[in-house]
Structure 1
Amino acid sequence: MNNSRSKMQSKKRKQNIFLNASIAVVFLLIAGVSAFIFLGDNENQAAETEEKTIAEQVQENAGIQDESNGNENNDNENNELTASEIESDESESDEDTESENAAASEDKEEEEEAAKKKEDKKKKDEEKKESDSNEEMAGPEDGEWKPVGTKQTGEHVSSYEKGSVDWNEKLKAAAYATGLDMNSMTVWWVGNDGGPQNSVVEVSSPSGGAPEYRVHMEWVDKKGWKPVKVDEL
């Protein structure tokens, strides 16, 4: 009976050892699995963290690059705008200069044209004045002229002194009868014509190389010298 009891105790002891060993194994397995899971999670987290850090770094680098590219593009755009503005300003300046030159040229042409018109008008007026004077001085046929007027008073004495009042009035009568300009005609001779109150004057145009006209005249008291005959020489 003791043997049987001893066997049973031995059997229980073995069962206890087996159970304890099994429990230990189970604990070890559980501990190993837990450790594996824990370590795996840490590694995954570390990997994820590392991946996240790398991704963030890549994004930051990409952002910096994009910002750099953006700044470069902005600089390029600004440079292009500045160049465009410079070209625009230069173009506007050239246009303004051309407009100013054109305006100055037009003003100069207008001034020249105005000066030319003024000169032409002055010339025409002078020609008309000379023509009117010639027509006035030409007079009618022989014996139909009028006295040219006089500044002399009192008893008349014919004078042949060059530059005297009577001399100048003789030339005025000669110009009146011939139609020449008194100030430009050439006077060849002034002399007596058969009496103290009769004179003769020989004149020509400025370009004449010899006397062209001989004008006979007589004195009319208080009215001056009157042409009576013109000989064309």
Structure 2
Amino acid sequence: MNSSRSDIQSKKRKQNIFLNSSIAVVFVLIAGVSAFIFFGDNENQAAETEEKTIAEQVQENAGAQDENSNDSNELTASEIDSDDNEESAESVAANEEEEEAAAKKEKEAAEKKEQEAKKKEQEAKKKENEKKEDADTNEDQTRPEDGEFKPIGTEQTGEHVSSYETGSVDWNEKLKAAAYATGLDVNTMTVWWMGNDGGPQNAKAEVASPGAGGPEYRVHMEWVDKKGWKPVKVVELQ
């Protein structure tokens, strides 16, 4: 009987140990599962947090890049506008310089043309005066026939008074009329005599070519108002 009780107690102890072991294993399993769930959630949350942080960082970086890109675009646009303005200003300045150079060149050309025109005009006047002087010289050296004489012109004004004073205006104009009538040179001919020829507005002169043995002439002349002395007759003396 004692042996039976002992067996029963032994069985109970074994059952208790088994039950306790089973309960311990169950608790361990429960603890493991709970830990797995807890740490798994934390890891998931950390991963999600890390993913979220990375996504936010990427988004921020993208935003910063967009801002930098916008700033760069704005700067580039500003630089382009500045470059365009500078090029426009340079173009305007270049055009102004070209216009000024063209205007200056045109002005210089006009001035040169004007100077050339004045020079040609002066040369034409000079040639005309030379021709006139040549004509006067030829007229002095060519003896017209009686009746073809013309008044020689005069510098005198007002009422005419005949003068026989050597060197006076009227005297010199009488010499010019005598030279014109005889064809002699007024500057080199010899004057033998000059005086009145029957009236206050009439005169005569005896002149000869320079040097011995040259021809001698007596010139009769009359005064024409405002036109000067006019030869009327030339006599060659023997």
- 1:98-139 deviations in whole A, cap 9, x for unaligned? 0000111111111111111111111111111111111113xx
Q: 1:32 corresponds to which residue? A: 38
The answer as to whether partners of 1:189 and 1:202 remain within 8 angstroms in 2 is: yes
Aligned residues: 176
Inter-partner Cα distance in structure 2 for 1:170 and 1:124 = 23
Cα distance change on mapping 1:10 and 1:33 into 2, 3 Å: same
Inter-partner Cα distance in structure 2 for 1:71 and 1:16 = 79
Q: 2:25 aligns with which of 19, 39, 43?
A: 19
Q: 1:176 aligns with which of 176, 181, 184?
A: 181
Report percent identity of matched pairs. 14
Look up the equivalent residue of 1:76 and give its one-letter code: S
Cα distance change on mapping 1:216 and 1:36 into 2, 3 Å: closer
Task: Give the root-mean-square deviation of aligned CA atoms.
Answer: 3.2
The answer as to whether partners of 2:139 and 2:183 remain within 8 angstroms in 1 is: no
Q: 2:157 corresponds to which residue? A: none
The answer as to whether partners of 1:170 and 1:201 remain within 8 angstroms in 2 is: no
Q: 2:235 aligns with which of 220, 228, 232?
A: 228
The alpha-carbon deviation at position 176 of structure 1 amounts to 2.1
Secondary structure at the counterpart of residue 201 of structure 2: strand
Q: 2:69 corresponds to which residue? A: 63
2:195 equivalent to 1:188: no
- 1:125-158 deviations in whole A, cap 9, x for unaligned? 1111111111113xxxxxxxxx716xxxxxxxxx
Q: 2:117 aligns with which of 111, 131, 145?
A: 111
- Return 5+ residue gaps in structure 1 as ranges: 138-146, 150-167, 181-186, 192-198, 218-226
The alpha-carbon deviation at position 87 of structure 1 amounts to 0.4
Secondary structure at the counterpart of residue 2 of structure 1: helix
Inter-partner Cα distance in structure 1 for 2:36 and 2:220 = 167
2:137 equivalent to 1:131: yes
TM-score using structure 1 length: 0.66
TM-score using structure 2 length: 0.65
Runs of 4+ with >4 A deviation: 170-175
Residues 187-226 of structure 1: pairs in structure 2 closer than 5 A: 188-189=201-202, 200-202=220-222, 217=233
